[in-house]
Amino acid sequence: QVQLVESGGGLVQAGDSLALSCGASGRTFDNYGVGWFRQAPGKEREFVAALSWNGYSTRYVDSVQGRFTISRDNAQNTVYLQMNSLKPEDTAVYYCAATDIRLVVTTTGEYDYWGQGTQVTVSS
């Protein structure tokens, strides 16, 4: 089992930056692929970014490409999502997730472990 806890959400203005963190505990974290997802009110949870177990491969949804960066520190059992140039449409609850699949994974059904989520609100 892996337990995930997100932090770093908040209320910011359009154009600002925000950094999310996701701390992991339980089994050895560096064997897992990781990802960030988000869910806005009334919408389905959507893929945002993913990172392979070794940090060498990444994938982003088109809407955040060039603005968001996913990274990990396996020694610290932590995954990060740096969000720059935030837009009101980025407003959502952000979830981190981990999967036994060590490669980049973009689908929610492939993830085994989820955090509780952290709210990000971007005002215009």
Which amino acid appears at position 76 of this protein? Q
Position 85 scores a pLDDT of: 98
Distance CA 45, CA 23 (A): 21
pLDDT digits (tens, 9 = 90+) for 57-82: 999 999 999 999 999 998 999 999 99
Alpha-carbon span 79 to 98, nearest angstrom: 10
Q: How far apart are CA 108 and CA 90, in angstroms?
A: 18
What does the longest C-alpha to C-alpha distance in the chain come to?
Answer: 41
User: In this structure, how many other beta carbons lie within 10 angstroms of the beta carbon of residue 13?
Assistant: 11
Phi, psi angles (nearest 5°) of residue 79: -115, 145
pLDDT digits (tens, 9 = 90+) for 22-60: 999 887 778 899 999 999 999 999 999 999 999 899 999
Q: What is the rounded distance in angstroms from the CA atom of residue 27 to the CA atom of residue 37?
A: 22
Average confidence score pLDDT of the chain: 95
